[in-house]
Amino acid sequence: MEDFDLNESLNGLWEKLAAWMDSIILALPNFLLAILVLVLFVIAANYASKLLNKLLQFKIKQDSIREMTVKIVKLIIILIGFFIALGILELNTILTSILAGAGVVGLAIGLALQGTLNNTFSGIILSFIPELQLGDWIETGDFAGSVTQISLRSVVIKEADNNYVVIPNSKIVQEPFKNFSRTPRSRVMLDCGVAYDSDLELVQNLTIETMQSLFAQQGSEEVEFMYQEFADSSINFIVRFWTPVTNRKDILVAKNKAIIALKKAFDENNINIPFPIRTIDFTNNLSINKPGESE
């Protein structure tokens, strides 16, 4: 009885092994095809990543962003090949489970790293837009400086006082910033005032001539002069002129030259630039004595 049961068990085992072997033999072509597809996609991902890296070298100067972009594209291509291979093997249940699990894990990671992912995607966006490049002088919020680094997390600028400021990428993308380096020339504005007894037409003509001789205007550019107001001690005006500007220092240098030249021209033509004067009267007209009484 025991021998009979043992033989029956062995026969059942052999039958199962044979069934498995038949299944393996039947699935072998699909298995080999799936492996071939996966290998081809891996090879394609390697070639595509190398080609993309060469193309991005002309567009993205930051190595960290370029390398991360290449890795993401390479991973996407390999995942596509992996899912196609699972489809060839008719493992639809496993494929569905993987996609569902990936969705849940991706949602959890996205919620946990919301700020980090925001900065990462903002860094990728910044690497492709021409409005912000390494070496540009920008102003955003209370900070101004030259861009020294653009990473997947932040933009680093070097301010005029030689200190570095790290700004999250999301701040640059979501909030306005001013880039002085995207245009080779900018209009500089200078405020001044002259005395009330000045010849206003002479002041206007002299100011325009001085600015034109100091700063060459190109094309349709011109020096603009407008009186603005009757102030307490002067008639104020603004003069605007074009000059090469790629950072804040260029504006300060241009204003410095303009002020020196304008003051010299006004002095030579006896034009006064007034300043507020306060007069203190020490005369005391009050008396504690009654009229007619001697002190």
Arithmetic mean of pLDDT, 67-87: 81
What pLDDT is recorded for position 135?
Answer: 86
Answer with the residue of higher pLDDT: 130 or 238.
238
**Contacts of residue 13, Cβ cutoff 8 Å, sequence gap at least 6:** none
The C-alpha angle with vertex 261 and arms to 255 and 267, in degrees rounded to 5, equals 130
């861009």: which residue's tokens?
A: 147
Counting Cα atoms < 13 Å in the Cβ hemisphere of 105 gives 6
Q: Are 254 and 187 in contact, with CB atoms under 8 Å apart?
A: no
Query: What is the reported pTM?
Result: 0.60
> With 70 as the cut, is the pLDDT of residue 242 above it?
yes
């062995």: which residue's tokens?
A: 10
> With 70 as the cut, is the pLDDT of residue 283 above it?
no
Question: In this predicted model, what pLDDT tens digit does every residue of 173-200 receive, in sequence order?
Answer: 888 888 888 889 999 999 999 999 999 9
Q: Please give the structure tokens belonging to residue 47.
A: 């070639």
Distance (Å, whole) CA 149 – CA 135: 9
Which uninterrupted H or E stretch holds 169? helix 169-174
**Contacts of residue 202, Cβ cutoff 8 Å, sequence gap at least 6:** 269, 271
Task: Count the helices and strands in the chain (H runs, E runs).
Answer: 7, 8
Q: Are 201 and 210 in contact, with CB atoms under 8 Å apart?
A: no
Distance (Å, whole) CA 34 – CA 215: 71
What pLDDT is recorded for position 187?
Answer: 94
User: For 57-113, where are the alpha helices, taking DSSP H only?
Assistant: 63-88, 92-112
| Beta-strand runs (E) in the chain | 137-140, 143-150, 154-158, 164-168, 178-179, 185-194, 224-230, 235-244
Output the CA–CA distances (angstroms, integers) from residue 26 to 15, 34, 180, in the order listed: 16, 14, 68
Q: Please give the structure tokens belonging to residue 184.
A: 């080779």
Q: Are 251 and 188 in contact, with CB atoms under 8 Å apart?
A: yes
| pLDDT tier, 93 (very low <50, low <70, confident <90, very high otherwise) | low
Percent of the chain beyond pLDDT 70? 69
Distance (Å, whole) CA 224 – CA 82: 66
| pLDDT tier, 1 (very low <50, low <70, confident <90, very high otherwise) | very low
Sort strands 164-168 and 185-194 into parallel, antiparallel or unpaired. unpaired
When mean pLDDT is compared across 93-97, 129-133, 137-141, 290-294, the lowest value belongs to 290-294
